[in-house]
């Protein structure tokens, strides 16, 4: 009999999973309304959050079955003490080829160089607008200048793969589209617009608030000229990428509402307290923390994840009548 313990993680639809998003905390230093509530938040007790040693152990096991791309998320991952130490540990695991971070950027200026030296390869920075008014309306806190400082510090630290993530919200961010495009072009940054998704903690999301990628593209082209589609280097990537016709800058559109990309999804997630999820919109979770703290073997951890992958649905179903919004908000899952 062939031992398939370390075979790739393949779901019922033939999707091979090699991408893991790791939430290191559910805490954050701002309160973006599309991600978390403004007040009365019950964060997980510290003892329930996975230690860096547990995260490293989990990744080391999954690297044996093909996980090779990692992204650290939150909450805000940079509020977790000594994140560079975790980066250093993860970057040394055999088989890990890509290690990235998603951050709101507020603490990045202080940590960018240390993270780069620890082995972090790429950084995504949330920047929904360049006006202080829009920033405060979304984040419900101040901090725009610190985010900008973080972007420039990341460039100075030697990161050559810096991406700006802008959540697109109708009635709020239309006026930010062109300034963001100009900023990205001026500073040689890649920019991605992400359609507003129903993962807000206050349950106020409405379809009418979705500013579709096609509309954003029209706004950009009216200002800067045509956008040319770029070849798809990785079919599993969620964005449709373009470049300006003059060659100055790249723009990506992540359109989970208007153009779902579930058919090529290769991503898994683990929450800060160790629950494995096969989809951002999953209503089920698999408890890796219990195994990690119960003396489980690598084979048992892999078996748990394989069960999770096996139950993955064909799509998130947002556009279907039977869609069920997850009980968890974005900050509790990991962005």
Q: How far is CA 155 from CA 11, 77, 123, 128, 150, in A?
A: 38, 19, 10, 19, 9
Query: 319: pLDDT confidence band, cut at 50, 70 and 90?
Result: low
From edge to edge, which strands make up the β-sheet containing 267-270? 227-229, 240-244, 250-254, 190-195, 162-168, 122-126, 98-103, 69-73, 19-23, 267-270, 275-277, 286-287
Structural domains for the chain: 9-333 (3.20.20.70)
pLDDT digits (tens, 9 = 90+) for 70-101: 999 999 999 999 999 999 999 999 999 999 99
Q: Give me the pLDDT at residue 3, please.
A: 53
pLDDT digits (tens, 9 = 90+) for 258-270: 877 788 899 999 9
Instruction: Report pTM.
Output: 0.94
- Which range among 36-40, 84-88, 129-133, 316-320 shows the weakest confidence by mean pLDDT? 316-320
Q: How far is CA 20 from CA 70, 129, 180, 287, in A?
A: 5, 28, 29, 16
Q: Cα–Cα–Cα angle for 61, 332, 132, nearest 5°?
A: 120
Q: Which two tokens stand for residue 224?
A: 């800067």
Percent of the chain with pLDDT over 70: 99
- Which range among 4-13, 47-56, 165-174, 273-282 shows the weakest confidence by mean pLDDT? 4-13
């Amino acid at each position: 009999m062939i031992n398939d313990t370390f075979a790739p993680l393949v779901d019922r639809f033939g999707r091979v999973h090699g991408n893991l998003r790791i939430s290191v905390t559910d805490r954050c230093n701002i309160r973006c309304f599309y991600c978390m509530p403004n007040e009365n938040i019950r964060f997980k007790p510290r003892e329930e959050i996975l230690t860096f040693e547990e995260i490293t152990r989990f990744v080391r096991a999954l690297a044996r079955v093909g996980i090779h791309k990692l992204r650290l998320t939150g909450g805000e991952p940079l509020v977790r003490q000594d994140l560079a130490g975790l980066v250093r540990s993860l970057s040394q695991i055999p088989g890990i080829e890509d290690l990235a971070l998603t951050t709101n950027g507020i603490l990045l200026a202080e940590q960018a160089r240390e993270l780069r030296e620890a082995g972090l390869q790429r950084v995504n920075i949330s920047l929904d607008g360049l006006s202080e008014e829009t920033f405060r309306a979304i984040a419900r806190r101040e901090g725009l200048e610190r985010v900008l400082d973080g972007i420039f510090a990341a460039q100075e630290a030697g990161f050559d793969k810096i991406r700006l993530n802008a959540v697109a919200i109708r009635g709020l961010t239309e006026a930010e589209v062109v300034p963001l495009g100009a900023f990205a072009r001026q500073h040689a940054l890649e920019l991605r617009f992400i359609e507003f998704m129903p993962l807000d903690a206050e349950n106020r999301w409405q379809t009418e608030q979705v500013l579709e990628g096609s509309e954003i593209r029209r706004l950009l082209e009216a200002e800067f000229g045509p956008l040319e589609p770029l070849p798809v280097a990785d079919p599993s990537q969620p964005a449709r990428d373009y470049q300006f016709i003059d060659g100055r800058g790249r723009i990506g559109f992540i359109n989970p509402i208007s153009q779902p990309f579930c058919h090529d999804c290769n991503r898994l997630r683990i929450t800060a307290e160790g629950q494995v999820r096969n989809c951002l919109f999953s209503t089920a979770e698999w408890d890796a923390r219990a195994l990690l703290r119960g003396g489980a073997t690598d084979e048992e951890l892999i078996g748990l994840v394989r069960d999770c992958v096996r139950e993955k649905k064909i799509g998130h179903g947002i556009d279907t009548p039977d869609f069920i919004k997850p009980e968890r908000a974005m900050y509790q899952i990991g962005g």
